[in-house]
Structure 1
């Protein structure tokens, strides 16, 4: 008979090799993809040694990137950064210490021409170059000056020779160092210079002394009482 039996199932077709099965969804590999557009204005070149640093925290990498993007003379103290970002003074101080440890930041206290003591912050975009400068032949006055590796956060570049700094004294620590408590202590210390101009503390000093102030605040000592204690009977020659 020429008619086909409709009850007979059709012959199975050969399965396509590999991933070419018509019913299989197309798979793409995961991971990051870039949709980049070339910058022509308002951009900062950041080295991968910072952006992909294996030892710095994500907060420190982000803060280091932010500092490198700031213009010359922009404020870079803990209080200004804490006002700009939500992380708080204690976490920002810790991130600054990380950057300092790995050479991306230098902080020093200098006296301005008006006699005021300020903290000068230097952001280094290539720490290894700053630590091991390449010797170049002496140039004549007619030759152009090369751009420095590090960018100062204050316009006064002249450094003054200062005596070696004594180690900071040990301070007590709070029983429960909550971030909010440490931030309140750091804010109190950062505000001391408004009550006595000699008490302009560096970021390092503030981070070191904050646990001691937090211990006082934890014992229900009022901020006003702590402030009076820290500003009373200061030596006339300065702190």
Structure 2
């Protein structure tokens, strides 16, 4: 009588169609019927074909651009004539590809003055192959560094009344400072900023010569910012206003009424009747 062997392997289970067989057809979704390409094909990365952010039009346009031969025109006008989407949608799709690194577009001017656009298709964004031979383009010169921002000049006093003649005199004073010291050669912008400060000195009855002396006396060494020094001196050494003097009376002399001389009947102006000046002198001599 046979006895059972508990360590014996269990009987092989049959495969369930659709689950265990490696070539079984899936229950849903796409089924691929592939044939191996040996010519006239392009390798497209799934990072483009299945891109999560690109539109379907951008993905298709990217695949088309990667499939064409070098030198093929891929500008908006040519693509709009090739596909039915129109130039607006084509331009938007090209911008998508450019933003995600699948295209690089640069505009350059030819020796004849014509503006052309160079388009580079990237099948793997971020990777740049080093070109060799005559196809190497000369590297563009880096943009020159911008000059540091110009420091603002200190504020200067402002005159109580702005007069064109006073401002003109102030500019003349500033323009003459370079004759005393060549380092005080000012730009037109600096002179325009400093002129109201000089005018404030002039309206305090300070002569132009006195202003020049105050601005040019004991200049420091070295003199790095002459305009800033002048602005500081105009504000720090501003003299006080002159004492108030009431304006001179300009009222006209009173006009007396006409009187008739008691001695010669000649009319003359006087506050009261009586003799005229000649008759009064004769009477004084007689006495």
Same fold by TM-score, threshold 0.5 exceeded? no
Q: Which structure: larger Rg?
A: 2
Greater RCO (Cα-Cα under 8 Å, separation 6 or more): 1
TM-score band w.r.t. shorter chain: 0.3 to 0.5
TM-score scaled by length of structure 2:
0.38
* TM superposition score normalised by structure 1: 0.45
